[in-house]
Amino acid sequence: MESGALLEIAIRTIGLTKRFGELTAVDHVSFEVRRGEIFGFLGPNGAGKTTTIRMLTTLLKPTEGTAEVWGHDILKERDAVRRSIGIVFQDPSLDDLLTGRENLEFHGRIYGIPKAERNRRIKELLELAQLSERADDLVRTYSGGMRRRLEIARGLMHHPKVLFLDEPTLGLDPQTRRAVWRYIQRMNKDEEITIFLTTHYMEEADYLCDRIAIIDYGRIVALDTPERLKSYVGGEVVHLKISETNQKILKRLSEEDFVQDIKMFREGFILTVKNGQRAVPRLIEVATKLGITVEECSIHMPNLEDVFLHYTGRRIREESAEKPIFRAMWMRGMRRR
């Protein structure tokens, strides 16, 4: 029925686009997710991650282009797509007046799972989510991490082929976040399920994902394994915090032959250099000659933050950390349309 090439593909998008009036939230995005992998959509808030998920899960119609999920067209075969996927939304969507078990039961019933199988599956997932002992307590009494685990377990009730996780660890403390990561990995292995997740946490994408698409202003700017993305940056990354920054210093530093790339920020420079161990003393020497004090200097192997900077010229943290309120308002606006 399906061709050999198609069998390997879990999700394929072709020029997927969504406009909200003037704003193009997702701009002709084309990519493929392979079966069995954990695929990450990494980008700052407002980059179009949630909008993409909403289109792939048939909650939102694309303005242009289309996509296939597990071989089903998101426009023409809506119910087939819905049966093949599980979704964990960014905002909580549990009924906290029901118990954990009842939330799973509800899901099993609306997906038409027969009773015997439903009960077996609930037992299995409660164990996987380590919630067996609290199964009959109201969700109201659960902690944030427990709710998250329950929600992910619920998304798996009907044996979906692809699980969508929209910012799965948003608002969780670091320890809980790690636990959820391990849980997602176990799910990916034990259930042999393809996972599509969005995140704006670099460590999360790096730790979890087999491949990552970096998305900015609705476009994919890079797509590869975390290792290869990092290797594209080339060299090592030096952060230089200095007393003052200006174009003259920028120009002077970029003339040095070991400097591959340099970007200026309020508090200093971020440079990509060859042979970092030797480059750093040279950098400080040049700066001192120009009469500038180097306040701090650090050198590290490229991480995804540097990859994002490399491709967009901006830092992901600046966008994500400072505007949580703006983001919430924007999301509400989107939902209303």
Q: Site residues (CB under 8 A) for another protein?
A: 57-59, 78-80, 82-83, 87, 89, 91-98, 102, 105-107, 109-112, 154, 335-337
Residues in contact with 227: Cβ distance below 8 Å, sequence separation at least 6, in sequence order: none
Give the nearest distance from C-beta 298 to another protein in angstroms: 41
Give the nearest distance from C-beta 167 to another protein in angstroms: 14
Nearer to another protein, 69 or 214 (CB): 69
The rounded Cα 88 to chain-centroid distance in angstroms is: 13
Nearer to another protein, 154 or 230 (CB): 154
Give the nearest distance from C-beta 138 to another protein in angstroms: 8
Nearer to another protein, 69 or 307 (CB): 69
Give the nearest distance from C-beta 79 to another protein in angstroms: 4
Nearer to another protein, 109 or 274 (CB): 109
The rounded Cα 329 to chain-centroid distance in angstroms is: 20
Please, where are the H alpha helices in the chain? 4-7, 49-56, 78-84, 100-110, 115-128, 144-156, 174-190, 202-208, 226-233, 247-254, 276-289, 304-312, 316-322, 324-336
Give the nearest distance from C-beta 113 to another protein in angstroms: 8
Task: Provide Rg for the chain, Cα atoms.
Answer: 23
The Cα 42–Cα 63 span in angstroms is 22
Q: Are the CB atoms for 205 and 177 separated by under 8 Å?
A: no
Nearest CA to 217 among 50, 24, 5, 12?
A: 24
Give the nearest distance from C-beta 92 to another protein in angstroms: 6
φ/ψ of residue 35, rounded to 5: -65, 135
Give the nearest distance from C-beta 56 to another protein in angstroms: 11
Which DSSP letter does residue 141 get?
A: G
Nearer to another protein, 109 or 228 (CB): 109
Which tokens sit at 21?
A: 């009036």
Give the nearest distance from C-beta 105 to another protein in angstroms: 8
Nearer to another protein, 84 or 320 (CB): 84
Nearer to another protein, 49 or 154 (CB): 154
The Cα 51–Cα 215 span in angstroms is 12
Task: Give the type of residue at 93.
Answer: S
Nearer to another protein, 146 or 262 (CB): 146
Q: What is the 3-state secondary structure (H, E, C) of 171-182?
A: CCCHHHHHHHHH
* Four-point Cα dihedral 208, 189, 165, 211, nearest 10: 40
